[in-house]
Amino acid sequence: MNNSKEAALLAVKVLDNKKAQDIVVIDISVKSSFADYFVLASGSSERQISALRDDIDEEFAKANIALKGIEGQPSSGWILMDFGDVIVNLLTVEMRQRYNIEKVWGDCEFLELDLED
């Protein structure tokens, strides 16, 4: 994997294949010194969020992208996975609405994604 955009799009592919909801990628590189992309996705339950976390971890490991840190538990409704230049956020629908990360980073570019229906 040679760049952070490719890594973000790998996350999108995994999440889309696993039926995550409302997948969004935000290019935060112009506003942030800690990462280039935020990937956001909602899960319908704690169990799905846990499964999404495991699938992202597995696919990124196959692509030799190291997990630098992980915060949160499925029971908290929000898991943040830090892959350096890409931060993957897995949230329940309720937590996603509460924290409204898209609004906080609303002045950044949102990538156009080609997702399956």
DSSP 12-34: HHHHHHTT-EEEEEEE-TTT-SS
32-44 confidence digits (pLDDT tens): 999 999 999 999 9
CA-to-CA separations, 21 to 9, 31, 62, 63, in angstroms, rounded: 15, 26, 24, 23
Q: For 18-92, where are the alpha helices, taking DSSP H only?
A: 46-62
Across the chain, mean pLDDT equals 94
| Full set of structural domains in the chain with CATH | 4-110 (3.30.460.10)
- pLDDT of 74 reads 84
The pTM of the full predicted model, rounded to 2 decimals, is 0.93
* pLDDT for position 94: 93
Tens digit of each residue's pLDDT (9 = 90 or more) over 8-33: 999 999 999 999 999 999 999 999 99
